[in-house]
């Protein structure tokens, strides 16, 4: 897309289109998982503040980061 803007050429190849769609979807999925992890963290912090340290252990935090 940036190449097309810089050169003024409005033609994109099939391969370039697939790559662009892949990276767009990859960023969208990554953002979805990150927002889900943040939501879970906020839920635990607000609804179960006394159990936060037990529920959000280092293992759980690592799993959430790996999923993102």
Model confidence pLDDT, tens digit, residues 38-47: 999 999 999 9
> What mean pLDDT, rounded, does the chain reach?
87
Model confidence pLDDT, tens digit, residues 17-32: 898 889 989 998 989 9
According to the 3-state scheme, what is the secondary structure of the chain? CHHHHHHCCCCCCHHHHHHHHHHHHHHHHHHHHHHHHHHHHHHHHHHCHHHHHHHCCHHHHHHHHHHC
Domain ranges within the chain, ordered by starting residue = 1-67
Q: How far is Cα 55 from Cα 59, in angstroms, rounded to an integer?
A: 10
The reported pLDDT for the residue numbered 64 is: 85
pLDDT confidence band for 65 (50 / 70 / 90): confident
């Amino acid at each position: 897309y940036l190449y097309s803007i810089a050169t003024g050429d409005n033609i994109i190849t099939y391969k370039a289109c697939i790559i662009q769609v892949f990276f767009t979807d990859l960023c969208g999925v990554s953002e979805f998982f990150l927002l889900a992890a943040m939501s879970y963290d906020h839920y635990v912090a607000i609804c179960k503040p006394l159990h936060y340290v037990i529920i959000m252990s280092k293992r759980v935090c690592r799993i959430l980061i790996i999923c993102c």
